[in-house]
């Protein structure tokens, strides 16, 4: 079972790495419900999660989550101590704090640019996270941490990417860099011209030239002149013979 779970986690991590640009260290946003479940099931998040995700991890939370845990009192005192050991990420709720779930949702707005994982046991929050593309979801089940399979929304976005309908921003930058390396971008207002490859001679120029055909019923002028000259000489010769014959008679 452990090997199967690890295999599924590796497959899901590959999906997010290849399609949404996730890289180490993986940033995991945790709420109070996840910390409470880890405490109840004796799960060492800091020690176990890097091995499960296959890379370095940064565990973090927000001021709104910490404030919410503090307000809940002694019932979640242990979860609060766990959350306080994590890095605190700045949220936009400086004056008016919101619920932990609302704060985590605000951290993954606009396409999850910071590549956060969301770790929660709140089913309502989990359902909202699944409606956003490119947000990995972690939860605890049967005393183990589980990385949920990619949501339908994430799969749909990847399908559009594969049909060249959308290109994520980080891939656009890579494409621009590749074009610059190949000299395909405009430089100094002019496009770089491709050097023509040296080719062989034009096959049409190698063909033998055909002799021009004279029009039907016509002959070259030089041939006509020769024929006319021979005809005149023959007429003169016949005339001379006729004159000589008359003289003899």
Write the pLDDT tens digit of every residue in 43-59.
999 999 999 999 999 99
Q: Are strands 137-141 and 116-119 parallel, antiparallel or unpaired?
A: parallel
Mean pLDDT (the chain) is: 84
Q: Which of 173, 159, 136, 170 is nearest to 10 (CA)?
A: 136
What per-residue confidence (pLDDT) applies to 188?
A: 47
User: Alpha carbon of 113 to those of 63, 104, 119: distances in Å?
Assistant: 20, 14, 17
Using CA atoms, how far residue 66 sits from 3, 47, 169, in Å, is 35, 22, 33
The whole-number pLDDT of residue 179 equals 78
CB-based burial label for 92 (10 Å; 0-12, 13-18, 19+): exposed
Alpha-carbon distance 233 to 226, whole Å?
11
Residue-wise pLDDT tens digits, 191-226: 556 666 666 677 666 766 665 555 545 555 677 777
> Looking at per-residue confidence, does 79 or 194 come out higher?
79
Count of C-beta atoms within a 10 Å radius of residue 205: 6
Q: Is the pLDDT of residue 172 over 50?
A: yes
Instruction: Classify each residue of 101-126 as buried b or exposed e, where b means 16 or more C-beta atoms within 10 Å of its C-beta.
Output: bebbbebbeeebeebbbbbbbbeebb
Could you tell me the pTM of the whole model?
0.65
Give the pairing of strands 190-191 and 57-62: unpaired
Scanning 41-76, the segments in alpha helix (DSSP H) are 45-53, 63-71
Asked if 34 and 119 count as a contact pair (C-beta separation under 8 A), the reply is yes
How far apart, in whole angstroms, are the C-alpha atoms of residue 166 and residue 157? 8
Q: What is the C-alpha separation between 36 and 14, in angstroms, rounded?
A: 29
Pick from 21-30, 90-99, 239-248: least confident: 239-248
Q: With cut-offs at 50, 70 and 90, classify the pLDDT of residue 189.
A: very low
- pLDDT (tens digit per residue) in 6-44: 899 999 999 999 999 999 999 999 999 999 999 999 999
Count the neighbouring beta carbons within 10 Å of the beta carbon of residue 171: 13
pLDDT average, residue stretch 93-112: 90
């Amino acid at each position: 079972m452990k090997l199967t779970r690890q295999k599924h986690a590796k497959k899901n991590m590959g999906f997010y790495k290849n399609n949404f640009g996730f890289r180490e260290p993986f940033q995991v946003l945790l709420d109070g419900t996840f910390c409470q479940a880890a405490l109840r099931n004796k799960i060492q998040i800091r020690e176990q999660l890097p091995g499960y995700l296959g890379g370095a991890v940064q565990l973090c939370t927000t001021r709104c989550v910490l404030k919410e845990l503090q307000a809940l009192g002694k019932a979640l005192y242990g979860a609060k101590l766990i959350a306080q050991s994590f890095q605190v990420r700045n949220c936009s709720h400086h004056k008016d704090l919101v619920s932990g779930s609302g704060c985590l949702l605000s951290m993954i707005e606009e396409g999850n640019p910071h590549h956060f994982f969301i770790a929660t046991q709140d089913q309502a929050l989990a359902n909202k996270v699944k409606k956003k593309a490119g947000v990995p979801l972690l939860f605890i089940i049967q005393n183990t941490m589980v990385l949920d399979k990619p949501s339908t929304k994430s799969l749909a976005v990847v399908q559009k990417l594969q049909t060249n309908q959308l290109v994520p921003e980080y891939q656009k930058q890579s494409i621009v860099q590749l074009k610059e390396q190949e000299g395909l971008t405009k430089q100094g207002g002019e496009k770089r011209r491709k050097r023509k490859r040296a080719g062989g001679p034009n096959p049409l120029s190698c063909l033998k030239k055909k002799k021009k055909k004279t029009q039907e019923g016509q002959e070259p002028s030089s041939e006509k002149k020769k024929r006319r000259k021979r005809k005149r000489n023959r007429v003169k010769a016949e005339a001379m013979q006729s004159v000589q014959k008359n003289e003899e008679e």
